[in-house]
């Protein structure tokens, strides 16, 4: 495909997302199924452009004075990808596959765009207006900058599995994708974000991945697991295990001592946990599936650590899933808050005296973070907040209450919130 056809394809996909409210993954798949002539590089190019547009939809519209998919695509290649205005004009006008010649207004906007400095915070930060109050609570005057950081492309982070290898050997295995240490956790490696128009390196294709040497996991997610504290030899329950990313990180810290129980309300998600645990060499994992009757029976009041990776809006992962910020609604946020209250109350039944709850979200919204913890403490006054960590690497990311808040701007990770709640020992 020529660039002209690629521009037209990106506009087509974005129009499908806007008009039919389809997730970006499904819209890209539908286009790919219909465009059999498109090669792997073409698909990567179109996908990268569509995702970049979704990351910065509002600021692109502001610059153009036009919120259409066409205007956003033209603005993205001009202002994000660095195309000269003349190249944009030539590709747009190229027959028969281009999206059509530029209008006078489009050409003027590409050459002299509106200044983003004059835009409202929600436009500069590329998030919906209705979330401005929440982000002001979390970040104050810096909310637009935090939003801008959440609109960047994300790197690929990896967690070295110490049950199978060590960081030095893992780095050698990952030389082809130019992985580097993060300098934060010794087991955390990073592959830089690829050029948006190019295919990313396939980490999963490296033979050592199949051997369980490393897992793809954002550094923020790894730090959230590390914030659980000492887990070696402990009884640990991962109450919302999902696909098992944090389960495996905890298991790695446990070094096959103690016992880790993985549960999720969706039995289908646990199939990945079983498969990944076997590949990683985890031998102290028990998967408790909801297809069985009373799957958590016998664990009540016996856990040293109850890890709660709570269901949330995923606002902290907008870099990777930019379409979700435009599909999020106040109703969905309210439902998640109810889910979070319920899972926290459930988790409290499993912690033993002297044990702790570790509450985690990949959200940046106080309604899902501090507010839920404060509401839990009102319902369970026997619990108290335990500052997440005294580690110098994390201390600068602690809130005044002792919670951990990570964001792309502050920690170069996805957005995460962690609170550790301790149940006092029996007197």
Q: What is the pTM of this model?
A: 0.94
Write the DSSP string, 362-414.
S---TTTTHHHHHHHHHH-TT-EEE-S---HHHHTTB-TTS-EEE-HHHHSS-
Q: How far apart are CA 6 and CA 2, in angstroms?
A: 6
- Residue 35 confidence (pLDDT): 86
Binding residues for S-adenosyl-L-methionine: 264, 309
Q: How far apart are CA 295 and CA 286, in angstroms?
A: 11
- Residue 389 confidence (pLDDT): 74
CB atoms within 10 A of CB 228: 25
**Exposed/middle/buried for residue 330 (C-beta within 10 Å: 0-12, 13-18, 19+):** exposed
Q: Packing angle between helix 3-20 and helix 40-55, nearest 10 degrees?
A: 50
Q: How far apart are CA 413 and CA 411, in angstroms?
A: 5
Nearest Cα to 362, choosing from 218, 263, 152, 236? 218
The total number of residues shown for the chain amounts to 427
Average pLDDT, the chain: 94
Residue in the structure block whose two tokens are 């999020």: 328
Q: Which residues contact 17 (CB under 8 A, 6 or more apart)?
A: 23, 24, 27, 50, 54, 323
- Give alpha helix (H) positions in 120-244: 121-124, 132-139, 143-150, 167-173, 207-210, 219-226
The pair of structure tokens assigned to 164 is: 């199978």
* pLDDT interval class at 255 (50, 70, 90): very high
pLDDT tens string 23-33: 999 999 999 99
- Residue 199 confidence (pLDDT): 64
> Domains in the chain, start-ordered, CATH in brackets?
3-119 (no CATH), 156-216 (3.30.70.1170), 219-422 (3.40.50.150)
- Residue 196 confidence (pLDDT): 72
CB atoms within 10 A of CB 212: 19
- Which pairing describes strands 188-191 and 156-160: parallel, antiparallel, or unpaired? antiparallel
The pair of structure tokens assigned to 321 is: 């899933």
pLDDT tens string 67-86: 999 999 999 999 999 999 99
Q: Which residues contact 373 (CB under 8 A, 6 or more apart)?
A: 359, 385, 401, 403, 419, 421
| Phi then psi dihedrals of residue 362, to 5 deg | -100, 50
Query: Residues of the chain with pLDDT > 70: what percent?
Result: 98
Q: How far is CA 256 from CA 55, 105, 227, 277, 283, in A?
A: 41, 64, 19, 11, 6
CB atoms within 10 A of CB 97: 15
Query: Is 312 tagged catalytic?
Result: no
- Residue 38 confidence (pLDDT): 87
pLDDT at 326 over 60: yes
Q: How far apart are CA 354 and CA 216, in angstroms?
A: 33
DSSP state, residue 76: I
| Phi then psi dihedrals of residue 315, to 5 deg | -65, -25
* pLDDT interval class at 379 (50, 70, 90): very high
The pair of structure tokens assigned to 201 is: 């390196």
pLDDT tens string 29-69: 999 999 888 898 999 999 999 999 999 999 999 999 999 99
**Arithmetic mean of pLDDT, 341-365:** 97
CB atoms within 10 A of CB 48: 21
- Residue 390 confidence (pLDDT): 52
Binding residues: 264, 309
Q: How far apart are CA 150 and CA 122, in angstroms?
A: 12
Which 3 state secondary structure label does DSSP give 329?
coil
Q: How far apart are CA 245 and CA 217, in angstroms?
A: 7
């Amino acid at each position: 495909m020529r660039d002209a056809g690629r521009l037209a394809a990106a506009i087509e996909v974005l129009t499908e997302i806007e008009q039919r409210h389809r997730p970006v993954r499904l819209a890209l798949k539908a286009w790919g199924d219909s465009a059999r002539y498109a090669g792997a590089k073409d698909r990567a190019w179109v996908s990268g452009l569509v995702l970049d547009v979704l990351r910065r939809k509002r600021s692109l519209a502001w610059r153009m004075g036009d919120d259409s998919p066409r205007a956003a695509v033209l603005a993205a290649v001009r202002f994000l990808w660095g195309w000269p205005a003349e190249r944009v004009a030539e590709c747009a006008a190229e027959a028969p596959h281009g999206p059509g010649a530029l209008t006078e207004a489009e050409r003027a906007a590409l050459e002299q765009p509106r200044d983003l400095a004059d835009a409202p915070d929600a436009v500069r930060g590329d998030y919906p207006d209705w979330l401005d109050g929440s982000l002001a609570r979390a970040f104050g005057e810096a909310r637009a900058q935090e939003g801008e950081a959440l609109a960047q492309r994300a790197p690929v982070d990896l967690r070295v599995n110490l049950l199978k290898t060590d960081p030095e050997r893992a780095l050698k295995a990952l030389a082809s994708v130019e992985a580097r240490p993060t300098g934060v956790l010794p087991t955390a490696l990073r592959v830089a974000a690829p050029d948006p128009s190019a295919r990313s390196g396939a980490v999963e294709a490296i033979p050592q991945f199949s051997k369980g040497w490393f897992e793809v996991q954002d550094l923020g997610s790894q730090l959230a697991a590390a914030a659980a504290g000492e887990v070696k030899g402990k009884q640990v329950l991962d109450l919302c295990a999902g696909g098992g990313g944090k389960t495996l990180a905890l298991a790695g810290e446990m070094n096959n001592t103690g016992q880790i129980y993985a549960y999720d309300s969706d039995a289908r998600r646990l199939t990945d946990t079983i498969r990944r645990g076997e590949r990683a060499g985890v031998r102290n994992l028990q998967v408790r599936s909801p297809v069985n009757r009373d799957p958590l029976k016998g664990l009540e009041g016996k856990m040293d650590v109850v890890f709660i990776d709570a269901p949330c809006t995923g606002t902290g992962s907008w870099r990777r899933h930019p379409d979700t910020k435009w599909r999020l609604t106040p109703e969905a946020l309210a439902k998640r808050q109810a889910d979070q209250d319920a899972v926290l109350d459930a988790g409290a039944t499993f912690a033993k005296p002297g044990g702790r709850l570790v509450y985690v979200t990949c959200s940046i919204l106080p309604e899902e973070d501090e507010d839920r913890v404060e509401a839990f403490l009102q319902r369970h006054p026997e619990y108290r907040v335990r500052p997440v960590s005294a580690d110098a690497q994390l201390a600068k990311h602690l809130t005044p209450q002792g919670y951990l808040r990570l964001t792309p701007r502050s920690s170069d990770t996805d957005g995460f919130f962690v609170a550790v709640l301790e149940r006092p020992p029996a007197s």
